Chain A
C-alpha cells in the first residue's frame, strides 16, 4: 500500500533539471532506471534538495549528476569518493551521495573505495555496474565477466572479475547492498536504506549496457539482458564472511552487510570537543 502511494505521488520531474533533457544515455541503458530509483528514494525520505549534494566521477554513470536538481559536482575520473570525503567532512549538514561506475569506482578509484569503506564517513555510494567502460567505447572493466568480449579483450576476458559488494564488505563498509534494475521498488528501498544508514553505505546496481557490451556479446535486447540478470540473482543472501572478492554466478541481492560502526565525522568532532573541554 505504502509502495503504491509513493509510486503514485512521486513525480521524477520534480527532481530533474528539465533544461538538461533529453539525456544522453543510450536506448536500453539501465542507468536511467537507477537514477529514477535514487530520486524516488530521495522523495520517500523527504530529503531537502538544497541539502542534497551529488558527487559523480567520469563515465556514463558520472554524467548522471548533471540531471539532478541538487548541488551537483562532476569531478575527475575515479575520485568522486575523495571529493565527497572533503565535502562531507567540511559540511556535515549536507547529505552527500556519490554516483560512480564500475571502472570509476573499482579500477582507477579502487583505493578511495576501500578507504571510504574503512573510514566510515557518512556517504552513500551508488555504483552502477554495467561490466564495461561504455563512455570510451567498450573496454574491459574490473567487473567484466570471464570470457566476455570487449574491444580490449578480443580473445575473451581472462581476468577474474570483482564482486564489488564482497570487496566493500571486506574493506569494512557498514552497509552493503546490491539490486538489479528489474526490481525498481526493491532497488528504491535498498537505496533508501543506504541513504538512512548513519555511516558509509555502498549500493551496487547491476545495470546493463545494451548498445556496446550487449551488442558485442550477442546478449539481445535490454529486456533480455535484464531478464538474464534477474535469473542470476539470489535475493537476500547475507554476506557473513567473505571468502573471495571475485563474483560467482549466483549473485546475492538485497542488504548484504549491515553493522553500526561509529561514523567517522561525528567521532572526529566528538574527540575534538572532548579535547577542547579537557584543556
Chain B
C-alpha cells in the first residue's frame, strides 16, 4: 500500500492516528504539494509523514538547513503557485517570524504549523504548553494581519489543516495552525475524507491583459489576484511597502491606502474566517473560555458541573486570531463568572479581559509541563458558580 493512505485516493476511512499524522494527511487532502522544514520536537512527525507522502502526489519535500530557510522556501514555493507548508515548535517558530511577516506583507499564502511545547527558550521540548498565543499573532515586527487556528482534537487538526490552506489561498495570508504537544502526539480516531470529497480552494489568479493588471489592487473584496510566474505578467514582489503596482513606494498617501487595505483585509472576511464552539452557554452562570487540550479538559469539567446541577458552559475559539469577540460577548451575556484555564501565565485571559471589559475574569494557569485536569477546572468553575 502506498504511504498516502488509500483514504486520500480511494474511499473514506476511519483511522486511529496521531494529531501530527492527521495534520500531514489534512495537508495532502487540501492540495499541499510543497513542504520545507527543519527537525524539532514535538512537530517532526509532520515532516516525516510528508517526506513520504509528497513524492507520491508529485509534490516536493525538502529538509532545509535551518528554520529560517524552511520558512523562506515555503514562501518561495507559494510564490511559484504551489500550496506550501512548514511545521515547527516554539524555538523554530521564533526563527521563522521575520519571514512570516514577509508573507503577511507581500500577501503570500502559506501554512505554518506550530506545535506548542514548554518555554521560554529550549524549555520542555517533550511537554505541552499553550504559551505561543501572542507570538502567533504578534511575533513578527510591524503591524500585520494573520490567521491563527487552534484545533482541540486529532479530528479537528485534520479538518483545520484543510481549512488552513483554504483560508490561506482565499485571503492571501499566512495561516498558523497552533496546537499543543498533547493533541499533536495523542492518537484518536479520525474519519478521513476521500480526495474526491475534499473541496480545494484555489487563490484568485490574475486575468486580463498585462497592462491592466495591478498585483496589489484589492478589487471589490480587498484581496488582490495573484499572478503565477510564467503566465506573462512578470510582476515584482517585495517586502518593502509597495503601491498597487507592486513596486516600492514611500508616498504617504499610497502607503496609507495600501496598508489600510492590508490591515482591514481579514476583518472584511470574518464570515469566512470565524469559527468557534459554544457548549451549553445559553443558560450558563459560569462560562469557561479555553482552547486546545485545555478545552478538552474543560468539556469534561462542564459535564462534571452539570451533573451537580451547576450551570457551566464552555466557549472555545477555533479561529483564535482574529479573535471571535462578538461571539464571546454573546456567549457570556448571562454569565456572572468567567474562567480561563490555560497552559501559560495568562495570554488568553488577557484577551478575554479586554473583550469582556468590566466583567470579572478568573484564570487557572498551569505551566508545569502537565495538562490541566478536568477536576481542577471543574472545582474552580463550581466554586465560581456557587458564588464562592
Chain A residues at the B interface, C-beta cutoff of 8 Å:
17, 20, 49-51, 53, 55, 65-66, 69-76, 79, 82-91, 93-94, 111-112, 114-115, 268, 271-272, 275-276, 279
- A271: nearest chain-B partner, CB-CB: B55
CA distance A90 to B33 in the complex (A): 8
- B70: nearest chain-A partner, CB-CB: A82
Given A50-B231, A111-B69, A268-B60, residue A86 in contact with residue B75 (CB < 8 A) = yes
CB of A82 within 8 A of CB of B247, answer no
Please name the 5 residue pairs, one residue from A and one from B, whose CB atoms are nearest each other, closest first: A86-B76, A86-B73, A272-B55, A82-B72, A90-B77
List B contacts of A87 (CB < 8 A).
Answer: 76-77, 79-80, 229
CB of B75 within 8 A of CB of A83, answer yes
CB of A72 within 8 A of CB of B236, answer yes
List B contacts of A76 (CB < 8 A).
Answer: 72, 98-99, 102, 239
List A contacts of B308 (CB < 8 A).
Answer: none
Given A82-B76, A86-B75, A87-B76, residue A275 in contact with residue B236 (CB < 8 A) = no
Query: 23 A-B pairs, CB-CB below 8 angstroms?
Result: A50-B231, A65-B236, A66-B236, A71-B229, A71-B233, A72-B234, A75-B75, A75-B76, A76-B102, A79-B68, A82-B68, A82-B69, A82-B72, A85-B36, A86-B75, A87-B79, A87-B229, A90-B33, A90-B82, A91-B77, A91-B229, A115-B69, A272-B58
Q: Of the candidates B69, B77, B82, which one forms a contact with A79 in the assembled complex, judged by CB atoms under 8 Å apart?
A: B69
CB of A111 within 8 A of CB of B2, answer no
Closest Cβ of chain B: how far from A112's Cβ, in Å? 6
CA distance A90 to B78 in the complex (A): 8
CA distance A115 to B78 in the complex (A): 21
CB of A91 within 8 A of CB of B82, answer yes
Interface positions of B from 26 to 51, Cβ below 8 Å from A: 33-34, 36
Given A90-B84, A91-B82, residue A82 in contact with residue B73 (CB < 8 A) = yes
Given A85-B64, A85-B76, A90-B34, residue A50 in contact with residue B232 (CB < 8 A) = yes
CB of A89 within 8 A of CB of B77, answer yes
CB of B232 within 8 A of CB of A83, answer no
CA distance A75 to B58 in the complex (A): 27
Most chain B CB neighbours (cut-off 10 Å) among A79, A112, A114: A79
List A contacts of B229 (CB < 8 A).
Answer: 50-51, 53, 71, 87, 91, 94
CB of B76 within 8 A of CB of A55, answer yes
Main secondary structure of the interface of B (DSSP, over half): mixed
Q: Of the candidates A66, A90, A275, which one forms a contact with B76 in the assembled complex, judged by CB atoms under 8 Å apart?
A: A90
- B33: nearest chain-A partner, CB-CB: A90
Given A53-B229, A82-B73, residue A73 in contact with residue B79 (CB < 8 A) = yes
CA distance A31 to B240 in the complex (A): 20
- B242: nearest chain-A partner, CB-CB: A74
- B232: nearest chain-A partner, CB-CB: A50
CB of A86 within 8 A of CB of B236, answer no
CB of B64 within 8 A of CB of A82, answer yes
- Whether B283 is near chain A, meaning CB under 8 Å from some CB there, is no
List A contacts of B267 (CB < 8 A).
Answer: none
List B contacts of A51 (CB < 8 A).
Answer: 229-230
- Whether B94 is near chain A, meaning CB under 8 Å from some CB there, is no
CB of A90 within 8 A of CB of B80, answer yes
**0/1 per residue, B49-75, Cβ < 8 Å to A?**
000000110101010111011101111
- Whether B235 is near chain A, meaning CB under 8 Å from some CB there, is yes
- B240: nearest chain-A partner, CB-CB: A74
CB of B231 within 8 A of CB of A279, answer no
List B contacts of A88 (CB < 8 A).
Answer: 76
Interface positions of B from 280 to 339, Cβ below 8 Å from A: none
List B contacts of A75 (CB < 8 A).
Answer: 72, 75-76, 102, 239
